[in-house]
Amino acid sequence: MKGKFPVAAASLPPPPPSPPFPDVKIPIDDNPDWELVWDEEAKVFYFYNRSNNARQIIVRQTSFPRQPSKQAHDGSSTGDVPNLPSQIQKEDALEAVLKAGYTHLIPQILHKYGGMDLNVKLYGFQRVLTLLEFAVEQQDANLLQLFGHQEHVAILAKMADRVDLTRALGRAVDRKDIAVIDILLASGAKCNFEDSDRPPPPSRGYYLPRIPDNEDYMPPLVRAVRLGNMELVRLLLAHGADVNVGYHGLHGERQSLFIDVTCGRVIEAAMELGHRDMVELFLEMGADIHLPQPTWQFHDCWMIARPVYLRVRTQLREVEAAWQSTRDSAEWVVV
């Protein structure tokens, strides 16, 4: 095989320590000189550079225990097969490829070694991500398609669960990446979380690195309102976003945008941020400004200053009254 040569286990240098956690955003390095090689005798992956014969052994990418499933995206088993890498070795190789930016090697890992379970977590970055969320972070629709090869992102959507898809959709909304948003929606991503989706905080004394925060479970529609992007708001509503959706822990996406109503419903966020057109659209779509505030059993909502609360509520009632008056007037028919 081109770029592959026998390497005795005894001749391999000792593996270096696990690399530090990099940021999620990676530089892309499409240098074709770098190849990925599986050495059957040593039972290791390594990068091989054809131009200078350099080798880099791929070590374990995280100390956090992986728990892969036993089924690949094509339905085949991912159990250990003689002379082939295990599922965990393939996960470590995939993380190493992603960190290095060698995206041209992704299809090789996914399809060459007897199939791979794609419903995995990437623990070797600053945040725990799914493959789908990682691809969205790169703002690259082509990278999404690389993960799925001929089946494109539909493979990832099939293997990812509902919550992971919605989280990925939220990340794409933050980046106003319409191409990726369209891919996710076409692949079945839901626009709403369920109340039970947010994981409870860990018990005292229990350590789980990089626990997802409120932002990971911020509804995509609330993110679009925070951006002030009516196009995204309409797109999400057209795909079933809840106009009465609640949120917790909302903050501005930039330092100059301060939000007082950190817990509430999406129409309240739109009103506080001055997006009257969105408020009117939500009313048209059936939003109810009289619903109680949303609650979550593991979260204590911050108190809202009384003047802020009265201002937002008064503005909502005024907009609702004006909208209702306009609607009633439109129903009159001149005979």
The SS3 of residue 57 is strand
Residue 68 pLDDT: 53
pTM higher than 0.85, yes or no? no
Distance (Å, rounded) from C-alpha 168 to C-alpha 83?
35
Strands of 119-237, DSSP E: 121-122, 129-130
List the 44-49 sheet strands across, edge first.
34-39, 44-49, 55-57
Residue 19 has pLDDT above 60, yes or no: no
Tokens matching residue 190: 């839901």
Topology of the domain comprising 217-330: 1.25.40
pLDDT exceeds cutoff 50 at 269: yes
pLDDT per residue as tens digits for the range 46-79: 999 999 999 999 988 777 666 655 544 444 444 5
pLDDT, residue 159, reads 65
CB 259 within 8 A of CB 302: no
Is residue 158 a contact partner of residue 69, using CB atoms and an 8 Å limit? no
- What pLDDT is recorded for position 55? 92
Return phi, psi of residue 77, to 5°.
-75, 145
| Residue 203 scores a pLDDT above 70 | no
pLDDT at residue 335, rounded to an integer: 46
pLDDT tens sequence across 276-307: 999 999 999 999 999 998 988 777 788 888 89
Confidence label for 219 from pLDDT (cuts 50, 70 and 90)? very high
Burial class (CB in 10 A: 0-12, 13-18, 19+), 196: exposed
